[in-house]
Amino acid sequence: MDDRPRSFRGFALLLALSLSLAACRPASTGPDIDYGPWVDGPPRYVFLVIGDGMGKSCEVAASRYLYGADTGLAWDSDAWPIKAFVATWDVTTYNLHASQAGAATYDGAACDPKLGYDPALAGAEPWPLGLALDTPEARTYLLGAATDSAAAATAMATGRKTDAGRIAWSPGAPSRSLAAITMSARYRRGASIGAVSTVPFNHATPAAFLAHSKARADYTAIAEEIILCARPELVIGGGHPDWNTSFAGTYAKSLLLSDSDYLLIQKEGGEDGEAALFEGLDRQGPGSLLFGYFGGADGSLEAPYPRHNPGAPAFTRGVEDPSLAAAVTVAARSLARNPLGFILVVEQGDIDWANHANDFPRMLGALHSLDEAVRAIESFIDQPDDAIDWDNSLVVVTADHATGLFRFTSSSAIGMGSLPSSRAGGNYEYPGGTVSYHTTGHANELVTVAARGAEAEAVFAGFSGAGWPGTAIIDNTDIYRAISRFLGFE
């Protein structure tokens, strides 16, 4: 055991990281980022869990199928003291609304949050809650403009709003790269960092915490920066090139295979991907970076798919990709080997992909995997005889935005184990109107946030209603601020 003072151990780790990364700054990132001074304090453990495209209506529908009630998901529990609504607008959305109102374009120092999201037009709560507006006029407003995942993830990763399509990069011009909370945790506390995603590891949401880019679709440069420069202690995600070559996976795989620091666990046809991950965890040595590379034909990890089985929810599951719960468990165990703490970003990206296709059953399966993953995090923190507990941990569950403007009727066929009838066309359709989608794109709906941990109430204090008086609305940049407070950066 290293018995040097913690501050000395942290400094040594920081120096080693600085030396290893000093020569690895992609040209795209602009000037070097100043992450701020070292913070010497007890270890912290952060789990930021993002349901990509997860509107409140998706949460309620999934809870009905799984539990026969509207509030049965893990983060609905009373054990989670923070529950609020999040405005997700980006600079592109703001500027469109400002133009329509004859107001000035976005200025971070003097913007009007109601130009990003106006409760008077769409409600102070997301549908189907009581204060939501669901009129044709409200739907037109919600569908008029909405953030993309890159800008939304950037807001949570860096505390800064930006233009659509930018990853940890400031808006407008001139512009520059922004400091992500993950990298700040590494450089200011010596924490390990990890990312788990059910979609390609270099897709917009995980990328905002590990890379920088003006163009979210530049998958090659993003993969290169993550693998060669950010070098997170752990990544588990999709995009494996043997199943889909759209995400620069062939190049990424070559980088991983040529770097002896990486322990690469790959998807193998017909093999148990979950078992392979746990075996890799057992083989991971000191200083080894664990990279789990999976994904199917569309680049994503296969989520459980629900069956119509009234009274008892049931799912069909594949074995080649690990479950999100297993991936999160492996990630937490691996990162916990660092006595200085960690920050783990978890994305369930299939919710978004399902909603883009208006595929209601696939969305339910993706929500089920997210629910399982959050329960796995709770079990990890609850396990006895280690240094991690709720006093030094913070778990935040939220969405980057809503997708599909999903709705259902009060007499919907959704119930425990019950699915409405559907037919597949260009997008899925649902005869009888029991469930419905109103776009294949994003919507400017409020989403939810829930947080648990002994300090959750303290670090989220003062955000609710700050930009929208009289409401429980916070901004997505407040999620960054809450985690910053928890880590001692504010």
What are 181-205's pLDDT values in tens digits?
A: 999 999 999 999 999 999 999 999 9
* Any domain includes 117: yes
- Digit-coded pLDDT (tens) for 449-472: 999 999 999 999 999 999 999 999
* Any domain includes 14: no
> Rounded to an integer, what distance in angstroms lies between the CA atom of residue 482 and that of residue 456?
8
* Any domain includes 34: no
Q: Tell me, what's the pLDDT at 32?
A: 75
Q: What average pLDDT does range 302-314 have in this prediction?
A: 94
- Digit-coded pLDDT (tens) for 328-358: 999 999 999 999 999 999 999 999 999 999 9
CATH of the domain at 147: 3.40.720.10
Bridge partners (DSSP) of residue 264 are 291
- Digit-coded pLDDT (tens) for 8-27: 344 445 444 443 444 455 54
Q: Tell me, what's the pLDDT at 25?
A: 54
Q: Tell me, what's the pLDDT at 428?
A: 74
Average pLDDT, the chain: 93
Distances (CA, A) of 434 to 60, 322, 415: 14, 32, 12
* Any domain includes 450: yes
Per the structure, how many domains does the chain have? Answer: 1
- Digit-coded pLDDT (tens) for 391-430: 999 999 999 999 999 999 877 778 999 998 877 666 677 8
- Digit-coded pLDDT (tens) for 86-144: 999 999 999 999 999 999 999 998 999 999 999 999 999 999 999 999 999 999 999 99
Q: What average pLDDT does range 296-300 have in this prediction?
A: 97
Per-residue pLDDT band for 145 (boundaries 50, 70, 90) equals very high
Asked whether residue 444 carries a pLDDT value surpassing 90, the answer given is: yes
* Any domain includes 28: no
Distances (CA, A) of 344 to 233, 275, 408: 10, 21, 34
Instruction: Check: CB of residue 165 under 8 Å from CB of residue 212.
Output: no
* Any domain includes 174: yes
Q: Tell me, what's the pLDDT at 5?
A: 41
Report how far apart the first and last C-alpha atoms of the chain are (Å, whole number): 31
Q: Tell me, what's the pLDDT at 100?
A: 97
53 Cβ contact partners less than 8 Å away, ≥ 6 residues apart: 349, 351, 352, 353, 354, 355, 356, 399, 400, 401, 402, 403, 404, 442
Q: Tell me, what's the pLDDT at 429?
A: 77
Q: Tell me, what's the pLDDT at 137?
A: 97
Domain of residue 135: give its range. Answer: 39-486
Q: Tell me, what's the pLDDT at 425?
A: 63
* Any domain includes 439: yes
Burial 240-265 (b: 16+ CB within 10 A, else e): bbebbeebbbebbbebbeeeeebbeb
Q: Tell me, what's the pLDDT at 426?
A: 62
* Any domain includes 331: yes
Distances (CA, A) of 118 to 97, 199, 242, 342, 402: 10, 32, 45, 36, 16
Percent of the chain with pLDDT over 90: 88
- Residue 31 or residue 80, greater confidence: 80
Q: Tell me, what's the pLDDT at 422?
A: 77
